[in-house]
Amino acid sequence: MQNNLIQKCKEKLYSAVIADTMDSLGFHNQALQPGITALDPSIKLCGFARVGLYMPIYHDDENTNVYEHEIALIDSLQTNEVAVLACNGNKNIAPWGELLSTRASYLGAAGCLTDGCVRDSVLIREMKFAVYSNGTNPVDTKYRGKMMMQDVPGKIAGVNVEKGDLVFGDQDGVLIVPSKILEEVVEKSLKKVTNENTVREELRAGNTLTEVFAKHKIL
């Protein structure tokens, strides 16, 4: 059932209609702050969140074990899951790269979302793996940052996120859909797409915005 839901979202939905639907349900702060963009804008990001929280560090030694939680999170990704790496907007680290993409892709994961940076961007684009980030930076997290916790509630680019929430991104931006309203949001968004198609045809036929809005309440 979850796989079917993801497929419907990828094929038929887009961020604006999902945002409108969540607005109608009283969820007005689900869009990440502008600045988080796709390595390849043609690839939608759509899957269930697996959250990792990072903190800055300034050294490395035998006790730091900088990659322990990061490796554990990536190795445990399942089909249609998205690694959500919350760095509190720290652009001095690139917690995601080509090797993590390779492992995640093999596991069937849906992509990565981070408010940190990514590296190996050319190789990731060649893989057609969905990665949305705060930019690119060639430096490793070693000496600079460490994932401290995984699968706990977090916040990324101003939006709360928990394990199992839907992450949806396209060229207009990225949204977090809370798991508790997910099925309702998808159902109403699909209906809204159908109604918008009707509105589009009426506008193309020459009807005014005033007429169309009065009839459908869609704009």
Q: What share of the chain is helix, strand, coil (3-state, %, to 5)?
A: 35, 25, 40
The whole model's pTM is what? 0.90
Q: Where are the domains of the chain?
A: 2-12+26-178
Burial class (CB in 10 A: 0-12, 13-18, 19+), 180: exposed
pLDDT at 95: 97
What pLDDT, in 10s, does the model give residues 38-94?
Answer: 999 999 999 999 999 999 999 999 899 999 999 999 999 999 999 999 999 999 999
Q: Which tokens in the block code for residue 192?
A: 């809204």
Radius of gyration of the chain (CA): 19
Q: How confident is the prediction along the chain (219 residues), in pLDDT tens digits per residue?
A: 587 889 999 999 999 999 999 999 999 999 999 999 999 999 999 999 999 999 999 999 989 999 999 999 999 999 999 999 999 999 999 999 999 999 999 999 999 999 999 999 999 999 999 999 999 999 999 999 999 999 999 999 999 999 999 999 999 999 999 999 999 999 999 988 887 777 677 678 776 777 777 766 766
Domain 2-12+26-178 belongs in CATH node 3.50.30.40: yes
Q: Which tokens in the block code for residue 45?
A: 């990001």
DSSP letter at 40 equals S
